[in-house]
């Protein structure tokens, strides 16, 4: 199927389901669209028991979409830039210590904890899986999804310093998590090859430091170009070119595109850059343009997540393993956040129950599914894909629907 046809079908479906959600269901867009798509898919499967024409067509349509490439290589850069552009840079600067710890130490610790516990649990229920493959699952499920998190937190009414921690962590741990996954993936792909610590450090440093460095360079160039003119049309196009061109450069030189785009967004979107490089008109158009991009891609993404159920191998043992993984992932996240929270709590005056709120508010999303889709058959792709899908659906629907009342209840005495 042609790319234009695929894009057209996805946008039409997203528009229809989005209308249904806004008009009748009134859930947050990420949750509403995925639920509607899941219900629609289940109905198609039920109809398929009598006439499988529509079911076959939908399966062919989903199979024609390379979800991993579409999300990781195309959509993610736009979504991360849009999220970073509207992040409170002042609060982010104040909270940089814990955010850095959450996004690095927290993700690493969670990766190894999830991998170790899943290795034991899967062995108990009859799956003989090498530890390195369980580590891969730990790496792909540990990062929280900024796309899902940002959509939910807009309505949650969390104190600003808590919201900054959750959003800031999700923006950065996404890039770090992808790098950790790729590093473990390269080791798992060559089990008999010797991989030294220096090789791993070089790969990690190139992706992380190189990605942030590229982002700083592109952010500075974009800022200077916008500062030298006063034309909102061209300035909007400059931000768009920074994202598209920067993503292409990052892929070419094997740098972290997610970290690069977050850095560019923070550079261009901070108050100092806005005040000196954008007129009020330009600022309004830049913000509205990227808000629209954000909403459009979000709707398409969560429709895709809902449809992905058609390509899963839904065996009972796989689903059971997924249900067991839910509390494991949550517990490991809580443990991985405990040390950074304790270390920074006194000096930064954390909101009470920060660890609990960040654990429940750390939603998993399309990034985890995309990484699971990149696994090979030897890495037990079908099993880990089903486990990941179960965790993601429960995370977005279960945690997503309850995180707002939980945040309000636990923070009602701490408005700031």
Q: Could you tell me the residue ranges of all domains in the chain?
A: 3-63, 69-411
Span 115-131, pLDDT tens digits: 999 999 999 999 999 99
CA separation, residue 269 to residues 153, 263, 264, 299, 349 (Å): 19, 10, 8, 24, 26
pLDDT at 192 over 80: no
CA atoms of 294 and 75, how far apart (whole Å)? 9
pLDDT band at 139; cut points 50, 70, 90: very high
- Which residue has 């290795």 as its token pair? 119
- DSSP H or E run through 330: helix 316-348
Closest CA to 258 of 106, 115, 144: 144
Q: pLDDT confidence of 345, banded at 50, 70, 90?
A: confident
| Nearest alpha carbon to residue 372 among 140, 127, 34, 119 | 140
pLDDT class of 101 with cuts at 50, 70, 90:
very high
Name the more confident of 160 and 383: 383
pLDDT at 135 over 90: yes
Statement: residue 103 has pLDDT above 80:
yes
Rounded CA separation 265/171 (Å): 11
Whether the pLDDT of residue 47 is over 60: the answer is: yes
pLDDT on residue 411: 77
Is CATH 3.40.50.720 the classification given to domain 69-411?
A: no
Quick one: what percent of the chain has pLDDT higher than 70? 94
Q: Which residue would you say has higher pLDDT here, 191 or 117? A: 117
Over range 165-192, report the average pLDDT: 86
Q: Residue 211: is its pLDDT beyond 90? A: yes
- Indicate if the pLDDT at residue 32 is higher than 60: yes
Sign of CA dihedral 35, 36, 42, 46: positive
Model pLDDT, residue 155: 64
Q: How far is CA 290 from the centre of its chain?
A: 17
The arithmetic mean of pLDDT across residues 180-191, rounded, is: 87
pLDDT digits over 377-416, tens only? 999 999 999 999 999 999 999 998 898 888 888 877 655 5
Structure tokens given for 49:
């028991």
Give the confidence band of 268 by pLDDT, cuts at 50, 70, 90.
Answer: very high
DSSP at 409: H
Better pLDDT: 146 or 376: 376
The reported pLDDT for the residue numbered 1 is 61
Judge whether residue 348 has pLDDT over 80.
no
Ranking 45-54, 155-164, 369-378, 402-411 by mean pLDDT, the lowest is 155-164
pLDDT at 141 over 90: yes
pLDDT tens digits, one per residue of 275-310? 999 999 999 999 999 999 988 998 999 999 999 999
Query: How much is the mean pLDDT over the chain?
Result: 90
How confident is the model over 176-202, as a mean pLDDT?
Answer: 81
The pLDDT score that the predictor gives to residue 205 is: 83
Give the mean model confidence (pLDDT) for residues 348-364: 86
Asked if 407 and 375 count as a contact pair (C-beta separation under 8 A), the reply is no
| Tokens 């710890």 belong to residue | 101
SS3 content of the chain, % helix, strand, coil (to 5): 85, 0, 15
Q: Is 0.85 topped by the overall pTM?
A: yes
pLDDT for position 287: 95
CA–CA gap between residue 309 and residue 305 (Å, rounded): 8
CA distance 368 to 140: 5
């Amino acid at each position: 199927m042609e790319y234009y046809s695929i894009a057209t079908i996805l946008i039409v479906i997203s528009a229809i389901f989005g209308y249904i959600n806004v008009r009748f269901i009134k859930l947050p867009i990420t949750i509403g669209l995925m639920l509607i798509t899941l219900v629609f898919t289940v109905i198609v499967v039920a109809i398929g028991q009598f006439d499988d024409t529509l079911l076959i067509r939908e399966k062919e349509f989903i199979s024609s979409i390379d979800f991993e490439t579409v999300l990781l290589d195309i959509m993610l850069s736009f979504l991360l830039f849009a999220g970073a552009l509207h992040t409170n840079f002042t609060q982010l600067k104040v909270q940089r210590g814990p955010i850095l710890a959450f996004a690095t130490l927290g993700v690493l610790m969670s990766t190894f904890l999830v991998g170790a516990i899943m290795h034991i649990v899967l062995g108990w229920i009859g799956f003989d899986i090498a530890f390195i493959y369980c580590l891969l699952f730990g790496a792909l499920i540990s990062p929280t999804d900024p796309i899902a998190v940002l959509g939910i937190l807009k309505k949650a009414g969390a104190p600003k310093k808590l919201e900054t921690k959750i959003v800031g962590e999700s923006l950065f741990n996404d890039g770090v998590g992808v790098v950790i996954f790729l590093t473990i993936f390269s080791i798992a792909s060559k089990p008999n090859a010797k991989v030294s610590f220096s090789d791993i450090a070089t790969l990690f440093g190139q992706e992380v430091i190189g990605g942030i460095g590229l982002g700083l360079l592109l952010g500075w160039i974009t800022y200077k170009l916008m500062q030298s003119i006063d034309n909102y049309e061209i300035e909007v196009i400059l931000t768009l070119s920074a994202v598209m061109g920067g993503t292409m450069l990052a892929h070419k030189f094997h740098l972290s595109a997610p970290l690069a785009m977050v850095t560019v967004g923070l550079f261009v979107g901070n108050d100092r850059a806005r005040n000196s490089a954008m007129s009020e008109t330009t600022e309004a158009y830049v913000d509205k343009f990227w808000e629209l991009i954000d909403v459009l891609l979000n709707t398409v993404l969560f429709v895709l997540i809902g449809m992905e159920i058609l390509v899963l191998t839904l065996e009972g043992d796989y689903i059971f393993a997924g249900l067991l993984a839910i509390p494991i992932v949550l517990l490991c996240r809580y443990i991985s956040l405990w040390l950074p929270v304790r270390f920074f709590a006194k000096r930064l005056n954390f909101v009470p129950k920060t660890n609990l709120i960040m654990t429940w508010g750390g939603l998993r999303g399309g990034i985890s599914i995309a990484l699971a889709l990149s696994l090979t058959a030897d890495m037990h792709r079908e099993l880990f894909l089903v486990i990941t899908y179960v965790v993601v659906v429960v995370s977005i629907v279960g945690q997503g629907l309850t995180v707002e009342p939980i945040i309000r209840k636990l923070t009602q005495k701490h408005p700031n």
